[in-house]
Amino acid sequence: MRYVSVSQKIDAGPAEVWYLKFIGRKPPVLLSPGGCLKLGSKLGGQAARKIALEPGRLYTVSMMGDLSDDPVSSSRHYEGRFCLARGPDGRNVVRQIADDARERVDEVCPR
């Protein structure tokens, strides 16, 4: 994996919330299908920090990885959007935002 980041959409554009860069790490960071990186975690000498996501805000998660040892010819990028909404029990739940719902975030994830 090359990097993973989470950003928040604000009026002025995206604002980075969290970022981990893995380029040049030996051994490389491998993330299996269904694998997980905890938001705010750290690797090696990178600093961890507490991250507080807010209900009703639109967030984007981006990941770039390599399928082999040749990063030029085999890089893959993933980007998805999500928000937090209050569940029936008052706890936050993650809701994926489909591309056709980006303009309706307030409807999908009220504050």
Distances (CA, A) of 10 to 1, 47, 78, 99, 108: 27, 25, 21, 17, 17
Rounded Cα distance, 32 and 15, in Å: 28
Do residues 65 and 76 touch, judged by C-beta distance below 8 A? yes
pTM equals 0.72
Residue range 81-96: average pLDDT? 88
Query: Is the pLDDT at 41 greater than 80, yes or no?
Result: no
The alpha helices in 1-111, defined as continuous H runs, are 105-108
